[in-house]
A and B are shown apart, each in its own frame.
Chain A
C-alpha cells in the first residue's frame, strides 16, 4: 500500500478529484494548507507599503492506494493539476504498513 500526498493549486482541486475518481480511486482526504516551494510568494501593496506574502494558499490531498494503482493515480494528478507554471505543486509517495477500517476491523487493501 502507498500513500500519495499531493500539494496542488486550489483552483485545480475539482479537476484532480474527478480524474482520481475516473482512475478508480474512491477515498480522498483534503486539507487546506499554506506554503511555498521555489515560487516564494508574491508582493501586495497597501497604502504604498509593500508586503511580501510568502505562504500561499494551497490544497494538500492524501490518498492511499494499492501498489498496482500507483502509476494510474500519479498520472491522474499530473494530468489534472499541471499548468506548466511555477507553483503547480508536488507529489510525495510513501509506504503504508497497515490500513484498518474502524467500522468492522477489516485490514489491508480491502480496508482502503
Chain B
C-alpha cells in the first residue's frame, strides 16, 4: 500500500553510509583502511535489516491485534447482544471464519486479492502461496517479509465476513452460513481488496483509474460487510416475533468487554496498516483513539437528548461507529479531523439505528449496516474531504519538496469524486455479489433454520450445546 517506503529506506541507508565513508577516509583518525564497496554494501544491508526488524515487529503484533478483534472481540460483542439461547451459535459464526477463511486465504484468497491479475481481481500465480517468500515485496510494504504482509491481510479477510453475521443473527443455518461466507470472501472481498490495494487495481492509489484513499479498509472491510449485511437482513427476513416480541441483549457485560477489545485491536487494524513502525503508524494510532472517543461521546449525547439516559450500549456502539468511520481516513488526516469524523459517526450512526431502521422495518439484528455500512461510507467520503498531504504525501512531492494536494482540504476536490467512485463500486459489488450467492445457497441448501429450531435457539438446534448450563 505504501511502496514509496522502499525508496525512503534506500535514501536513509545511503545517508547513514556516507558518514561511515568520511570516517574511513579521514587520515587523522587512525590506521583503518578506506572502506571498500563490500563494506559499504554490508553496512547498507545491516541498516536495512534493522529497519525490517522494527517494522516487522510492529506489523506482526498488529496482525495478532486484528485477530483479537474477531475473537474474542467481535464474538463477545455480538454474543452478548443476542438472546441467551443463541450465544454459542453467534460466537461460532465468527469463530468459523477464523478457520475457513484462513484455509481459503492460503489456497487461493491471497492470490486473488494481491496477485497480479487484472484491474478487477488478482490471478492464481500465488495459489498455495507459491512465490510468497520471506523477502520483502516492494509493492506491499517494502521493508517487511511478504509473508508478514500476507498473514496481516488474512486477519482483515477474517473479520470482514464475521462482521456480516450481525445482520442474520439468531436465524441462519450454520452450514449455509459457512458456505455463503466462504464464497462471499472469494467473490466480493478478494476483488474489492485487489481493486483498492492490489497492484494494478483500478482503484489503487498508485496507478489506478480512480485512485481511492483507503488506509485500513473503510471501503474494503466496512462498506463491503455493512452493505452485504443489509442485503442479508432483507433477503432472510425478520426473526420470528420481531419487532412485536422483546429481544433485548442478554449479557451486556460480555458486549462491553468485546467492544473494549475491538477498540484496542483497532490500533493494529489502523496503525498496522502503515506496514511500518514509522511516523505514519503514529498518525493512524492517534486518529484511531481520537475518533473512537469522539464517536462514543457523539452517540451518547445524541441518545441522552432523545431518550433521557446515557446507556452503556450507546457508549460502546458509538466507539465502534467512530472506529469504523476513521478506518479509511486513519493514515491520511490530521488529528483534529479525526475528532470531527468520530463525532459525526456517533451522531449519524445512532440516528440510523434509532430511526431509519425502525422506519424501514428491516431486521439488521445487531446493526452491522447501521454502524459499519454507514460508517464506512461516510468515512470514505470524509477522507476525500479531509485528507492532508502533510500527514501522508500519497501523491508524492513537487519539485520544491511540498506534498502534492491529496484531499479537498488541500485543494484537490477531485479526490471526493474518486472516493465516491470507490463507494459506488463497493456498494454495487456487495449488493450484486451477496444477492447472487444468497440465492444460490438458499436454493441448494436453504438459508434459514426451521421455525422450531429458531424457537429452540441456535445453540441447541445447530450445535447441540448450551452456552449456560445453570444446573451443573
Residues of A within 8 A of B (CB): 44-52
Contact = CB atoms under 8 A, between A and B. Distances in A.
A48 B246 CA distance: 13
Interface residues of B, number: 18
B246 A45 contact: no
Contacts of A46: 248-249, 311, 313
A45 B311 CA distance: 8
Q: Which of A45, A48, A50, A51 has the most CB of B within 10 A?
A: A48
Contacts of A44: 248
Contact of A52 (B246, B306, B317): B246
A8 to B, nearest CB: 23
Nearest to B350: A48
B249 A45 contact: no
A51 B248 CA distance: 7
B314 interface: yes
A100 to B, nearest CB: 28
A46 B249 CA distance: 8
A47 B309 contact: no
Interface of B: 243, 246, 248-249, 303, 306-307, 309, 311, 313-314, 317, 350, 353-355, 358, 367
Given A45-B307, A46-B311, A46-B313, A51 B350 contact: no
A45 B367 contact: no
12 contacts: A45-B303, A45-B309, A45-B311, A46-B249, A47-B314, A47-B353, A48-B306, A48-B307, A48-B350, A49-B243, A49-B358, A51-B248
Interface of A is mostly: strand
B354 A47 contact: yes
B246 A47 contact: no
B248 A48 contact: no
Contacts of B249: 46
Contacts of B309: 45
A47 to B, nearest CB: 5
Contacts of B358: 48-49
A85 B355 CA distance: 36
**What 5 pairs between A and B have smallest CB-CB spacing?**
A48-B354, A51-B246, A51-B248, A45-B307, A47-B353
Contacts of B355: 48
A14 B65 CA distance: 46
A102 to B, nearest CB: 24
Contacts of B367: 47
A47 B312 CA distance: 10
Nearest to A52: B246
Contacts of B303: 45, 48
Contacts of A45: 303, 307, 309, 311
